[in-house]
Amino acid sequence: MRLIAAAVVLLSASSALAAPQTVPQGVTLVEVVRELSSSQPEFLWMRPGDPDGRTLFTYAKDAPGVSNCTGACAQEWIPFAVNGKAFGDWTAIKRADGAQQWAYRGQPLYTWVKEEVPGDVATTVGVKEVFNSKLAENARKLNELEPPADWKIARFNAAGTRSVPDGVDIRSVAGAQGIILTDFAGLTLYAYDGDAKKDGQRCSSSGCNVTWIPVTAPALAANVGDFTLVSRNDGTQQWAWQKKPLYRFKDDKLPGDVHGVGIDKKWAVAQLSDDFRPAGVDIAFHEGYGDALTVNGMTLYTGIAYEKRWGGRNLRDNYRNAYYRGKKLAGNTCLTSDCLTRWKPFAAPAAAVASGFWEPIAREDGTKQWSYKGYALYTYTGDKVAGEMNGNDAYDIADYNDVSDEAYKRNSLLVEVNGVNSVYWHIAKP
């Protein structure tokens, strides 16, 4: 369902067809990026992680569903213990000692004791794959730790073992908060839940104003898995998924757009899985800024490095940040009493467990706070009603007159992580 108020559109979980969760509880998802000078980090690939976001590995000497890493091997390569319910591509295997270990697409998973910063090894490998030069030329100096030849980084495959027909793709789409069906160009597909012969073909003649564009199939197409064929009134064939005809929405122009949500209750995003979200969290669309995370309607924000990016922050995808920086900052971006009068941590329950892009982190006062894609989340006291985003594009310049322990700790950490001791606050992008 989408609610429109003050140019804001909210996406609720009911917007999509009922779908299982993307990953089991206790499994995180991390975007591996390559940092660039004066530009947003370049997305490389996605990986699963343990509850703290550590890199997960597979072992070449394992058989499908069987771990052959025991004894000294298992002391260096720690089996990723099962702490959730198995489903889909995620299975639980039983080790020789009776313990249960996660396997992804049949391959047992491990963490490596030599990785000190969560995700460091994955970042090193990802950068070297696309940047065949000295790592010192990269925006940050990596430790250059790479796994031995028999060990590979586990990568998350949105499609998994599912089959799709030509012209249909499966992607992780942040705006939909899950894994969805798209066309070959990455545009969102919507499933129609109604009478395909009646309401689902409101416009079948050429040249008319089509709001919902049918996903047509070739004349010789055949059924593929959950995909079947629907005959249209104009004689063409259309793809259907789980017996629901598939469409694109006319106002979705770029990959990741989901502007068709809430337009008509009979059309919903063709969603294969649903990303975990804490209670009360939705997505709001801000004209000119795109999607932002909200909690109970109030905009969520995060603080990152104060740095220049060509084209400004508000370009599409120019809010992407390196995961490791957020992990190092944790909840320490806002510690002083002055800061906490303006920015309120998005509290996580004491028993909260990491899942997908969400991780609970411990604050100095012992409370827990939600982080998203590695970065701690806050609401802004200057926002009085749902839909406002008065805290966006705010700069928190270090106050050298503040000699409190909290200010010293925060400024020292910011210099260590970012190279500067000032913070740029912006809406939390999904």
Residue 22 within any structural domain of the chain = no
Are 423 and 285 part of one and the same domain? yes
Are 225 and 347 part of one and the same domain? no
Sequential DSSP letters for 292-309: EEEETTEEPEEEEE----
Which of 108, 125, 153 is the endpoint of a domain? Answer: 153
Give the residue from 236, 222, 276 showing the smallest Cα distance to 29: 276
CB 231 within 8 Å of CB 201: no
Dist. CA 43–CA 77, nearest whole Å: 27
Residue 11 within any structural domain of the chain = no
Can you tell me the mean pLDDT for 200-207? 50
Give the residue from 276, 106, 91 showing the smallest Cα distance to 179: 276
Residue 10 within any structural domain of the chain = no
Sheet holding 90-94: strands in order across? 90-94, 100-104, 107-108
pLDDT digits (tens, 9 = 90+) for 239-273: 999 999 999 999 999 999 999 998 888 899 999 99
Residue 367 within any structural domain of the chain = yes
- Residue 422 confidence class, pLDDT cut points 50, 70, 90: confident
Are 304 and 351 part of one and the same domain? yes
What is the overall mean pLDDT for the chain? 85
Strand intervals (E) in 90-226: 90-94, 100-104, 107-108, 110-112, 151-153, 168-173, 178-183, 190-192, 212-214, 216-217
Dist. CA 51–CA 45, nearest whole Å: 19
Share of the chain above pLDDT 70, in %: 85
Sign of CA dihedral 332, 333, 336, 340: negative
Count CB-CB contacts under 10 A for residue 152: 14
Dist. CA 100–CA 94, nearest whole Å: 5
352 compared with 408, residue with greater pLDDT? 352
Are 255 and 294 part of one and the same domain? no
pLDDT digits (tens, 9 = 90+) for 66-99: 999 999 999 999 999 998 899 989 999 999 889 9
Are 287 and 396 part of one and the same domain? yes
**At a CB cut-off of 8 Å and minimum separation 6, what does 147 contact?**
57, 112, 121, 125, 153
CB 176 within 8 Å of CB 22: no
Are 368 and 252 part of one and the same domain? no
Residue 20 within any structural domain of the chain = no
Sequential DSSP letters for 364-422: TTS-EEEEETTEE-EEETT--STT--TTTTEEE---TT---HHHHHHHHHHHHHHSSS-
Into how many domains does the chain fold? Answer: 3
CB 131 within 8 Å of CB 192: no
Reported as half-sphere exposure (CB side, CA atoms, 13 A), residue 349 has a value of 7
Q: What are phi and psi of 138, to 5 degrees?
A: -75, 165
Scan for tokens 């924000």, then name that residue.
301
Which of 250, 274, 298 is the endpoint of a domain? Answer: 274
| 101-105, 167-171, 193-197, 226-230: segment of lowest average pLDDT | 193-197
Are 256 and 307 part of one and the same domain? no
- Residue 7 confidence class, pLDDT cut points 50, 70, 90: very low
Are 332 and 404 part of one and the same domain? yes
Residue 15 within any structural domain of the chain = no
Which pair of structure tokens corresponds to residue 308?
């220049």
Which of 153, 184, 219 is the endpoint of a domain? Answer: 153
- Number of helical H runs and strand E runs in the chain: 5, 33
Helices (H), 134-247: none
CB 145 within 8 Å of CB 115: yes
Are 169 and 203 part of one and the same domain? yes
Dist. CA 213–CA 217, nearest whole Å: 13
Distance of CA 212 to the CA centre of its chain: 27
Are 127 and 204 part of one and the same domain? no
Residue 72 within any structural domain of the chain = yes
CB 108 within 8 Å of CB 92: no
Are 324 and 409 part of one and the same domain? yes
Q: Is 258 helix (H, G, I), strand (E, B) or coil?
A: coil
CB 189 within 8 Å of CB 246: yes
Residue 3 within any structural domain of the chain = no
Domain that holds residue 41: 33-153
* pLDDT at 208 exceeding the cut of 60: no
* pLDDT at 51 exceeding the cut of 90: yes
What pLDDT does 137 receive? 45
Dist. CA 421–CA 319, nearest whole Å: 19
Burial class (CB in 10 A: 0-12, 13-18, 19+), 60: exposed
Distance of CA 306 to the CA centre of its chain: 23
- DSSP, res 201: G
Q: Is the pTM of this model over 0.85?
A: yes
Reported as half-sphere exposure (CB side, CA atoms, 13 A), residue 32 has a value of 26
Are 268 and 285 part of one and the same domain? no
Name 66's bridge partners.
Answer: 63
What pLDDT does 84 receive? 86
pLDDT digits (tens, 9 = 90+) for 323-360: 988 888 888 888 888 889 999 999 999 999 999 999 99
- Integer-rounded Cα Rg, in Å, for the chain is 23
Torsion of CA 195, 200, 206, 208, to 10 degrees: 130
Q: Mind spelling out the 3-state secondary structure of 23-53?
A: CCCCCEEEEEEEEECCEEEEEEEEEEECCCC
What pLDDT does 419 receive? 64
